[in-house]
Amino acid sequence: MSSGAELTSQEYITHHLANLKVGDGFMAVHLDSLGWSVFLGLVFLTIFRSVAKKATPGVPGKLQCAVEMVVGFVDDSVKSTFHGKNELIAPLSLTIFVWVLLMNSMDWVPVDLLPHLIHWATGMPLGDIYMKPVPTADPNITFGLALGVFILIIFYSIKVKGVGGFMKELTTQPFGHWSLYPVNFILETVTMLARPLSLALRLFGNLYAGELIFLLIATIGLFQLPVHFLWAAFHLLVIPLQAFIFMMLTIVYLSLAHEDH
Amino acid sequence: MDINMTLVGQLIAFVVFVIFCMKYVWPPIIGAIEERQAIIADGLAASDRAAKDLELAQEKAKTQLKDAKVQAASIVDAAKKLEAKIVEETAGKAQVEKDRILATGHAEIETERNRAREDLRKEVAILAVAGAEKILERSIDAAAHSDILDKLVAEL
């Protein structure tokens, strides 16, 4: 915590939780979140594409083995939950899993490392540097992902069941009587909206909390190093688990959208 | 929480990345994996088949060996029988030959003996006549007393 002895802990944390922002109001863009998110997505696609180009059914190289492990894991997860035929769900799940995993992994980057690197490279005063490198600790990013999944849920619900079938599903259950159809509709709509909401908030909450604790640890002075280590070690569980949960729930929601009642 | 255009940017990035992954990343990798799985499955099946074939071949070899042993035994038997038959036949022929030679020998001996006897008999007849002449001091008409002589000769 050397971003300035004049800062109080609260100011320090507030400063570190602020994004690098361009624009105002709704038109603003968080350059750090979106930049890291796109960068990590490109890292994922570059690595996997380089393997895909040279993929051989013969003896695989070491990188191909690693990539195939991830692909096989995702493929097994999809096949164990989703039993229809859909060309999109498996690559969608792979993208979500690896991308979210990489974005979550930014949590391991020490909270002051990047601001200090920028300070060292550009000479900007630390107080002016805003750099929040964990994209999934930004609700915009998690809601962006969840919104994509939500659009797919609606799209496949209508595609598989038709508009009538989808509306019927929204209105005729859980209560069978016609007079309760409006109640059903409200309940089902809430259920429907709760899916992307919970998806986004769960990921955001976990990573935001993780980031916050890292910042709190960074304020305790000399003894922060072992505590940092412990908290980072704990994230060995949190980071892959949250990526897996996001992927798994996406598969479950999409397979529900494919189910005809 | 301030929600802003970052969300839209993330959504666009998400869509682009997923489409890229679906088009250029997932199919080749999963294709390679599945192809390799098929190759391995084929290999395992082939090795299973080979093991079964080996077992069959061993079984067949065993049967053939057994057959060959039986055949060899029967050939040896037949050979022994043939040998015995040949020995028997040869022995029979030798016996016949021996009998024939013996018979010839006997016949020759008989002939010799008969001839000797005949000679002897003639001698005796002559001696008898000579003896009788001496006794009677006169000659005996051989023709007149041939019946006596013949009787004498026959008695010898």
Name the least confident of A31-35, A242-246, B69-73.
Answer: A31-35
Chain-chain contact of A94 with B25 (C-beta, under 8 angstroms): yes
For the question of residue A206 being annotated catalytic, the response is yes
Name the least confident of A26-40, A219-233, B123-137.
Answer: B123-137
Chain-chain contact of B22 with A72 (C-beta, under 8 angstroms): no
Mean pLDDT value of segment B57-63: 96
Among partner residues B1, B6, B29, which is closest to A68 by beta-carbon distance? B29
Chain-chain contact of A148 with B14 (C-beta, under 8 angstroms): yes
| AA identity, residue A175 | F
Chain-chain contact of B28 with A92 (C-beta, under 8 angstroms): no
What per-residue confidence (pLDDT) applies to B49? 96
Among partner residues A26, A57, A140, which is closest to B39 by beta-carbon distance? A57
Contacts of A139 in chain B (CB under 8 A): 1, 3
What per-residue confidence (pLDDT) applies to A3? 46
What per-residue confidence (pLDDT) applies to B154? 75
What per-residue confidence (pLDDT) applies to A2? 47
Could you tell me which chain A residue has the CA closest to the CA of B13?
A38
What per-residue confidence (pLDDT) applies to A40? 95
Band of pLDDT at residue B121, cut at 50, 70 and 90: confident
Among partner residues B5, B27, B29, which is closest to A29 by beta-carbon distance? B5
What per-residue confidence (pLDDT) applies to A1? 42
- Give the residue from A30, A208, A247 with the most B CB atoms within 10 Å of its CB, the best one to mutate: A30
Chain-chain contact of A144 with B6 (C-beta, under 8 angstroms): yes
| Residues 63-102 in A contacting B (C-alpha not used; CB under 8 Å) | 64, 67-68, 71-72, 75, 87-88, 90-92, 94-95, 99
Give the mean pLDDT of chain A. Answer: 89
ipTM: 0.89
What per-residue confidence (pLDDT) applies to A71? 94
Contacts of B7 in chain A (CB under 8 A): 140-141, 143-144, 147
Instruction: Kindly state the percentage of chain B with pLDDT values over 90.
Output: 71
Mean pLDDT value of segment B90-118: 93
Q: Is the pLDDT of residue A118 over 80?
A: yes
User: A42 or B148, which is more confident?
Assistant: A42
Can you name the residues that pair with A29 across neighbouring β-strands?
Answer: A22
Contacts of A88 in chain B (CB under 8 A): 18, 22
Mean pLDDT value of segment B38-57: 96
How close, in Å, is residue B2 to chain A by CA atoms?
8
Contacts of B6 in chain A (CB under 8 A): 28-30, 33-34, 138, 140-141, 144
Whether the CB of B13 is below 8 Å from some CB of chain A: the reply is yes
pLDDT by residue (tens digit) across A63-97?
999 999 999 999 999 999 998 888 899 999 999 99
Chain-chain contact of B17 with A45 (C-beta, under 8 angstroms): yes
Gap between the Cα atoms of A205 and A207, Å rounded: 6
> What does pTM read for this prediction?
0.76
What per-residue confidence (pLDDT) applies to A261? 59
How close, in Å, is residue A169 to chain B by CA atoms?
27
Whether the CB of B35 is below 8 Å from some CB of chain A: the reply is yes
Q: Is the pLDDT of residue A4 over 50?
A: no
What per-residue confidence (pLDDT) applies to A6? 61
How close, in Å, is residue A61 to chain B by CA atoms?
12
N- to C-terminal Cα separation, chain A: 57
Q: What are phi and psi of A30, to 5 degrees?
A: -85, 100
Among partner residues B3, B11, B30, which is closest to A139 by beta-carbon distance? B3
What per-residue confidence (pLDDT) applies to B124? 84
Contacts of B14 in chain A (CB under 8 A): 95, 144-145, 148
pLDDT by residue (tens digit) across A15-24?
888 888 888 8
Could you tell me which chain A residue has the CA closest to the CA of B20?
A45
How close, in Å, is residue A95 to chain B by CA atoms?
6
How close, in Å, is residue A92 to chain B by CA atoms?
6
What per-residue confidence (pLDDT) applies to A123? 84
What per-residue confidence (pLDDT) applies to B92? 94
CA dihedral sign of residues A220, A222, A224, A226: negative
Q: Is the pLDDT of residue B18 over 90?
A: yes
